[in-house]
Structure 1
Amino acid sequence: MRRLDKGAPLRAAMRAAGLDIPSLAAATKNVDPEGEGLSRSLVGFIAGGGKTAREECSDRAADLIAAALGKEVEDLFEAPVFTLRESTSTRRTKTSKPSKSELPEQLMDQAELAKFLRKSRSWIDKQIQEAKARGEVWPGLIYVGSSRRFNPREVLDAMRQQRTAA
């Protein structure tokens, strides 16, 4: 789900309910059938207005926040619009899943890679430093002159291998 108007309706509903981020996080535990609720940090990312705020969250998080505030989900969030990856022409009926070949062919700078991976630039810096401490080069890292460039295919392959090894 994507929050409406950069979270302004969400923050207004919080003010109207007299809740701050920690109390909203606690309220999500009361409405969660599993009794877990959401963490303070996740609620802060979703409800926040600063540069660390997230525009998107899971359906579950949106449902719990709306229920805790006594609002309809549609009052605070919107479902993202999906576009078709292929033509709707009746001349072609071929359908396919997104594949590795749909990844960008060009090298990315650190900002582009961070956006592509949905990670922060500091996370990428930390991964590079940890690899350097092990005497390795972080997969996908290429120095072009004095600037860093990244091959997104190699980065994703390394992340997948790391996930399966853990």
Structure 2
Amino acid sequence: MSARQSGRTITNRHEVNMHKLLRKGSGQPLRDAMTAAGVTGPQLAEATRRVDTAGRGISPATVGKLTGVGKTATDSCRLRTAWLIAEALDQPLHRLFFLPSVSTDTVERSNPMARKTLAERRKALPNGLQPLLKQAELEAYYGVSNWTVDQWVKRGCPVEDTPFRGRRFDLDRVKQWIAQDQQSAADNAASA
């Protein structure tokens, strides 16, 4: 079945399996970055055209939808759109958008629950328990790569034993370990 038959529109072959990214904080980080850069929506659209190697950029309407509030605003966009906006604002992508942790392309189209953020989907556990995070979720939480998390684990970052494939992390224990790791690095730098 071709992409056209499945209802997907493909504008170039590199966009076939692109994930949708969700804007953070209902677009507030985007609006804050625009204010800091001193640009309006149309100016941001023009700036995306300058950073786009193809020279297309993002339309002012799309910028308006992503930075707007209310019923006309949209929470998701393609990776290319998010990247061009982040580049034009000279901001890291992860500060403006939630990055996908796994391929959920089919799930996103068929499951309305997939449009919710991880925090919105997470159900409260009894007695204040918190669910364990997958490695991809930990990477997204801290905005780091899988290589960085692998290095943390090699240096002693706590990993929880589970019957599941892959690593699971208790966020509270990881936060505590990172604080200790940063303190020991600062102590080592001070003594050197």
Please give the TM-score of this superposition, normalised by the length of structure 1: 0.49
